[in-house]
Structures are given as structure tokens and as C-alpha cells.
Amino acid sequence: MKQFLLFSAFIVIFSCEKKEQVFEKPVNQEEEKVSDLNIQTINSFEIDSTGILAFPLSIEETIESSRIESSFKSDKGSSYWNIIFYNSNTGEKYLLSKQKMLISNYETGYSNYDSSNKKFTQIDTSSKKYIFYNIITDDYDGNKKLNYEDPTYLFFTDKEGKNLKQISPKNLNVVNWKIVPKTRKILFNVQKDSNGNKRFDEKDDIISMEYSLDTQKAPVVIFDENYKNFLLENFKKNWNSK
């Protein structure tokens, strides 16, 4: 069980409200009792009637006054430090990843909202071969903590929870994303730390990008600088003229 203390961390989509969440091993780790922490596997769900179960993992303190309270304290309930996948057909079990990470959301039964009809439409089955995750992996601001001040990245795996791959670029904070069923592309918006203050807020630039599930090549920027300049000139011409 001591190996779990070396993983720090604790998955919803894109809340603008960022609450402090820190998952760091305590300074006096060797002095702590392993019994102060429980590995929780009480919650699970089956993936599309495949017989494969996912167990999102959170850490619960059994001793309220534990000295590691400040290190594992969380104000956001739906966050996880890993996910166990268990194949009940074969008995195989494995983690989503062995790296340190904070999972803020995972999506298996995703759909698109049709604003014209004001209803959700299900994604076609050919696009539903994946599970998508919002994960924090980098201590971007250098405070030696993983929390919601660090950039959230978009990842995906196959339906078995294997072959974890990052979609969004490093050091860019994902704001939202959706699938375009017809083209099997992921459209997502990211924040760039434009002013270099190591924070992601309303002052930072928003970049729209797309990622092809078919080619799985690096995502591309939809509106480049030339097109943005064209938009600015158009705006000035139509709205700033006297």
C-alpha cells in the first residue's frame, strides 16, 4: 500500500470555477501510518455492456485529524487520482496510467446538444469507440502541486481503457470540446497563458483547434493569425468607421 502514497492526486468538464486541490505526499511520509488512508473502490460502472468495469479511485481519510490532511484535502468531490479497469470476462485488471495525475472528468456516453431543436443527439456508434478524459499532469505554475490552477489536458483511450493518448497540446488549458460525428473530429478550445503569469484566466487568448480521430495526428489550429487579422480588419472597417 505504500506505493499508493507515492501517487498524488485525485475527474468534470470545464468548470470556470477553479477550486484549490492539492495532492502531495507528506514531508514525514515514512512516519505516517498506511491505515490513515483507504483505497476506495466502492464506485464502479460497466462500459457499454462489455463486461469491462471501471473503478474511479479517490482517497478518503479515515482519521480527520491526520497530519496529511492538508496534503490530500479536496474541495471538489468528483476528482480522482486514477481509474482501475477490470475485465470480468478474463479477470485482467490494470490502471488507466501509472503517472501522477488529477482526473477532473471522464466521458463514455457522450452526445451533442442541438441548439436548434433544443435537445441532445447521440453520437454515431462509429465515433463511440473511445473514452475521453480531462486530466491535469503538469505542475505548470511550479508550486510543486497538482491543482486546478494547472492546465487541464484532453486525453482518450479505447473502450477498454487502454492506449491512453493526449489530444490537446502541452501548456494549453482545455476550456471545452465536442465531437463532430460526420467528420469524426474533435473540436476543442484552449487557453494560452498569453501574459506569462502562470495562470489561465479571462485575460488569456482562446485558441480553437481540431483533432482527427481517424488520422490521430497532432491537432491543428482552426483560425490562424492571418485569419484573426482578417477578422480584426473586418471589425474595424464595419464598426469603427465614423
Is the backbone of residue 171 left (phi > 0), alpha (psi -120 to 50) or beta? Answer: left
- CA dihedral over 155, 158, 159, 160, signed as positive or negative: negative
Q: Is the pLDDT of residue 14 over 80?
A: no
Instruction: Say if strands 45-46 and 111-114 run parallel, antiparallel, or are unpaired.
Output: unpaired
pLDDT in tens, 197-240: 999 998 899 999 999 999 999 999 999 989 999 999 999 999 98
Model confidence at 242, in pLDDT bands (50, 70, 90)? low
| pLDDT for the residue numbered 222 | 96
The pLDDT of residue 59 is above 80: no
pLDDT of residue 60: 52
Q: List, for residues 228-241, the tens digit of each pLDDT value.
A: 999 999 999 999 86
pLDDT in tens, 180-203: 988 999 999 999 999 999 999 988
CB count within 10 Å of CB 14 equals 15
Do 76 and 19 form a contact (C-beta atoms < 8 A)?
Answer: yes
Residues contacting 198, CB < 8 A, separation 6+: 140, 141, 142
- Tens of pLDDT, residues 40-50: 777 888 988 88
pLDDT of residue 133: 95
Q: Band of the pLDDT at 63, cuts 50, 70, 90?
A: very low
